[in-house]
Structure 1
Amino acid sequence: MPTVKEAAAELGLGPERVAQLTQRGQLPASKVDGRWIIERSDLRAYKQERESKVSVSKAAAALGLSEITVCVAIREGSLPAKKIDERWLIEPEALEAYKQERQQMKQELQLRATTEEAAADLGLGVFRVIQLAREGTLPARKINGQWLIDREGLEAYKKLRQTPGTNEVGAALGLSADRITDLIRTGRLKASKIGPGRMSHWKIQPSDLKSFKKLRETTAAGPGFELRSQDWINARLAQQATKTPQT
């Protein structure tokens, strides 16, 4: 059975370092005649464990990262590793899993915009974009402490912001913005609400505005259409639907 000195020579370590490993229980050993003796099988197992793992420098080269970045990932727990001989060593399987995770994240980042990019695209402040992400108005995901905005959701929100509001629709119909809001709340004019709480406002899609204009013409209610009750409008539509054409 190898002594500490012989084990040190085989492992490429100093005898003092091997003695520390035995004292810490990292390398099983027993004392015989006042000397520490290491079982050949234990020495072989320890050696194989060291050789089967990847060093920080090799991991950095495989990932295309700096050694400092790899060490940070290890300390944060995102890259599992074990300290052997005062060195961080990584299982090949763990390294491959981490590599695939980074590739997936890279692909996902291509589908998302940063808050700065979204703010520039929308003409808003970064803080406002973060608010929209937090409240769910803008589809977003927090990755590594940073909000990333879904690009398709960003484009949809951008189009919604560009649709006319109560002021624009009121001007087109010759009504006040307050009256348009009443029509929306009573369900006669479809609209979408964007923004949080008191800062929210109504947006009307062109197709919904077109349907509303058609309803005004169909009911033949004239200028007083907007003042009619919903029951009156429904009754008028039902009357027209059941009316048979004269022959």
Structure 2
Amino acid sequence: MVTLNRPEVRNALSRRMLRDLIGVLVEAEGCQETGAIVLTGAGPGFCSGDDLSEAASTDAATFDQSIGLLQRLTRTLLDLKKPSIAAINGAAMGGGLELTLACDLRVAAQRAVFACPEVAWGLVVTNGASVLLPAIVGHGRARDMVLTGRTFDAAWALAAGLVGEVLPDDRLLDRAMALAEGMASRSQAVRLTRRLFDDAGKEAIVNALAREAEAVGRARRGPAGEKGLRDFAARRSGEGTGR
């Protein structure tokens, strides 16, 4: 099990954390004893997204590097030969939600909530969300999430197909581990089946990542993006809320 472990900022994704996560996933991929990977968050939240307070203190070029790392993490998840499960134990916001889209399965705790709040900060989605999100929930729901920035609860996520199951908070990890063990026990069939899905959509995802990186960089350099990051930094009061 891989745990996002910055609970003091709702597991916001700093550059260091992104590098660490990529390394852990690569290590898990090479471990013969690991048959599947469960991704969850420490504390009451899953992941609040990019660490925007870090982004607000950097220049545009460094921001671009952070987006590159975030997309590299997504590509690492998508390229895994082993199945992955997002055990969404709380809020999955922005980049945190996008991270779950790269997993094979998503299960959520009853307290989980979901949002794409990028527009509130003058930014746009990245991490393949423009392809992965509508493929999972449909174009109408995806546009609702991305264009309004609204927050949706676990019941909505289940009805929309964003998650496959919603469980009591204290049963989430047990269920995720059971799913992982089940897939690991059928590793060859699971691997071959995943390849059928992945090969069909790989080109679209690669193209989406490139378009999104360019779009979010342009948004970051624009007046709305600059103001959004400044406003975020000014509002932060000890709790992290990400893109």
Does 1 or 2 have the higher relative contact order (CA < 8 Å, sep 6+)? 2
TM-score w.r.t. the length of structure 1 is 0.19
- Compute the TM-score of the two structures, normalised by the length of structure 2: 0.20
- Highest CA radius of gyration, 1 or 2? 1
